[in-house]
Amino acid sequence: MLTQKQKDLLLLIHTRLGQDGVAPSFDEMREQLGLKSKSGIHRLISALVERGYLQRLPHRARALEVTRLPENHTADKKSSAKSTSVFSSPKYDSIPLFGRIAAGTPIEAIRHEGQSLDLPPGMLGKGDHYALEVDGDSMIKAGIHDGDMVIIKRCDNAEDGAIVVALVEGEDVTLKRIKRVKNKVHLIPENDCYQTRILDSDQVDIQGRLVSLMRTYH
C-alpha cells in the first residue's frame, strides 16, 4: 500500500505526463507536495520505483514513466486512456550523444555511434545540436558539474562570454568560456584551481556553444 504522499506524487506525475508528455521538475514536485527539500522527493520516487509504480528511463530529461496506478484510482476511462497513450510513447527530440569531453580527443572521435539523448519537445531551438557528458570540475562555478549532460548547438563562432566547445590545435577538445583580446583567444575555466589558456586565434576552432544542461540525481 502506498502512503498518501507517494500516491499524491504518482498521480501528479501521471497527470503531467498526460498533459505535457514530460514529468514535472523536482522543484515542481516539491512545491506541489508541500515538502521543504528535494531529498524528500528523491525518497518518494525511489519508493515508487521499488514498488513497481514508476520506471526511470535512461538518457531522457525528467526521465520517469508511470508503469501502474494505485488500485483505487478512479480517473474516468476517457481521460485515463488519453493520458496512457501520451506517456507510454511520448514524442521526444532526439540528438546525438557523444562521450565524455576529454582532452586530446577530437569531438567526432568520442561519438557513441547509434546512441542518442531524448529531450522534451520545445527544449531545442533551431539548428543542429548534440549532447556531451562533462568530465571534470573546471566549470563548476558556472554550475556545470562532473557527469552533467550539456546540450551544445553546433556553430563555428560565439560571442565573448559564451561557454563553448573548443578544438585546440586540431587535437584538444575542451569546454570553456571564451573571450577574445586583440588577436588572442582566452579559454577561461570557472574554477580557481585551473588557469586560463591564452592561444592564437588560428589555434582555436569553435565546435559549438552551450545552450542547456541536464543533471541526473541519484
- 9: CATH: 1.10.10.10
Q: Decide which of 61, 88, 115 is a domain's last residue.
A: 88
Return the closest-CA partner of residue 59 out of 124, 160, 133, 134: 133
Same domain, 205 and 100: yes
Residues 127 and 201 both lie in one domain: yes
Report the distance separating Cα 166 and Cα 175, nearest Å. 6
Q: Are residues 56 and 117 in the same domain?
A: no
Catalytic residue among 7, 83, 153, 176: 176
**Is the pLDDT confidence value at 26 over 90?**
no
Q: Are residues 145 and 204 in the same domain?
A: yes
Per residue in 45-104, pLDDT tens?
888 888 888 888 766 656 788 888 876 664 433 444 334 333 344 456 788 887 777 555
Q: Cell numbers 513497481 correspond to what residue? A: 52
**21 CB contacts (<8 Å, ≥6 apart)?**
86, 87, 90, 91, 92, 120, 121
Q: Known catalytic residue: 79?
A: no
- Predicted structure pTM score: 0.58
Q: Work out the mean pLDDT of the chain and round it to a whole number.
A: 79
The residue annotated as part of the active site, out of 7, 83, 138, 153, is 138
- Per the annotation, the verdict on 138 as an active-site residue is yes
Same domain for 170 and 117: yes
Q: How far apart are CA 124 and CA 116, in angstroms?
A: 14
Domain range for 71 is 4-88
Quick one: pLDDT at residue 83?
40
pLDDT, greater one: 72 or 148: 148
Give yes or no: residues 155 and 201 share one domain: yes
CA distance 101 to 169: 16
Task: Name beta bridge partners: 172.
Answer: 168
Cβ 6 vs Cβ 46: under 8 Å: no
